């Protein structure tokens, strides 16, 4: 039976996590190229120190501070190989990297992203936060249909090669939202960003969010999960 191997990496530097997930991604891809069945998939949970990442279709002009200020504020910057534009990762945010061979799940990339989003929507609903998708924009949003109120609570950006995936989602839990003012999040200049903490008015138990999100992701992809 196919198995999702779960690992919580804790607080980890972005580049170290990127290298690690890339090694797992390359392993699954090599198996496919050699006509081997991937029976194990990987679900990585982690949190990063302050970092901006710009996707392969991103615009550097959406970063609103210069390199000197980045260094002064101890914020890293990486141009990476996922889709999407610029986003921020930092303490108080839950990042999830699914390294999956989608052929073993019988789904395409569009369905994969839909299921990731559904797991986040269901997780937020557990905490009485009503969230949804916004047509034409990746991620999970609150008040999505009202442009004056809409705000993103979770970013989504993936890479897929031969239906093997990497990168994933970033859910704002107790995130310091001030860092989003240093950029145009995902290229948007007319929509806001929020966190579970801001919406609920108090700090949120990150370990509880992790447990709920892990359960929801496992349900969406319907496989045995091992730790």
User: In a structure prediction context, what are the per-residue pLDDT tens digits for the chain, which is 227 residues long?
Assistant: 479 999 999 999 999 999 999 999 999 999 999 999 998 999 999 999 999 999 888 888 989 999 899 999 999 999 998 888 889 999 999 999 999 999 999 999 999 999 999 999 999 999 999 999 998 888 999 998 888 899 999 999 999 999 999 999 999 999 999 999 998 865 565 678 999 999 999 999 999 999 999 999 999 997 666 76
Q: Could you give the CA distance from residue 13 to residue 91 in angstroms, rounded to a whole number?
A: 11
pLDDT one-digit tens code per residue, 92-120: 999 999 999 999 999 999 999 999 999 99
Please tell me the CATH code under which domain 3-226 is placed. Answer: 3.30.930.10
Given its phi and psi angles, is residue 158 left (phi above 0), alpha (psi -120 to 50 degrees) or beta?
beta
Q: Hey, which residues does 64 pair with through a beta bridge?
A: none
Distances (CA, A) of 214 to 59, 136, 150, 197: 32, 27, 26, 19
Catalytic residue chosen out of the listed positions 46, 47, 154, 186: 186
Distances (CA, A) of 134 to 145, 198, 213, 224: 7, 20, 21, 31
Which pLDDT score, from 0 to 100, does residue 164 have?
A: 97
Q: Could you give the CA distance from residue 227 to residue 225 in angstroms, rounded to a whole number?
A: 7
Q: Could you give the CA distance from residue 165 to residue 145 in angstroms, rounded to a whole number?
A: 30
Q: Token digits for 13?
A: 């530097």
Which pLDDT score, from 0 to 100, does residue 224 have?
A: 62
Helix axis angle, 206-221 relative to 109-126, nearest 10°? 140
Which pLDDT score, from 0 to 100, does residue 185 have?
A: 66
Q: Token digits for 5?
A: 């191997």
154 classed as catalytic:
no
Do 116 and 124 meet the contact criterion of CB atoms below 8 Å apart?
Answer: no
Distances (CA, A) of 9 to 18, 99, 113, 217: 12, 14, 22, 17
DSSP state of 159: E
Residue with token string 């002064």: 72
Strands 40-47 and 93-99: antiparallel
């Amino acid at each position: 039976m196919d198995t999702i191997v779960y690992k919580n990496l804790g607080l980890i530097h972005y580049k170290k996590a990127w290298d690690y997930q890339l090694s797992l991604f390359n392993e699954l891809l090599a198996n496919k190229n050699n006509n081997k069945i991937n029976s194990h998939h990987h679900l990585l949970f982690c949190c990063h120190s302050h970092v901006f990442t710009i996707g392969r279709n991103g615009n550097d002009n959406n970063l609103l501070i210069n390199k000197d200020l980045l260094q002064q504020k101890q914020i890293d910057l990486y141009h990476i190989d996922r889709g999407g534009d610029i986003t921020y990762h930092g303490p108080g945010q839950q990042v999830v990297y699914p390294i999956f061979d989608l052929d073993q799940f019988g789904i395409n990339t569009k369905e994969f992203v839909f299921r990731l989003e559904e797991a986040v929507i269901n997780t937020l609903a557990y905490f009485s936060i009503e969230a949804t998708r916004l047509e034409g924009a990746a991620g999970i949003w609150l008040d999505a249909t009202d442009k004056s109120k809409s705000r993103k609570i979770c970013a989504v950006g993936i890479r897929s090669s031969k239906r093997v995936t990497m990168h994933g989602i970033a859910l704002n839990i107790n995130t310091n939202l001030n860092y989003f003012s240093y950029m145009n999040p995902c290229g948007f200049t007319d929509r806001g960003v929020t966190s579970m903490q801001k919406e609920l008015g108090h700090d949120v138990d990150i370990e509880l969010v992790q447990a709920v999100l892990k359960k929801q992701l496992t349900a969406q992809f319907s496989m045995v999960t091992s730790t």
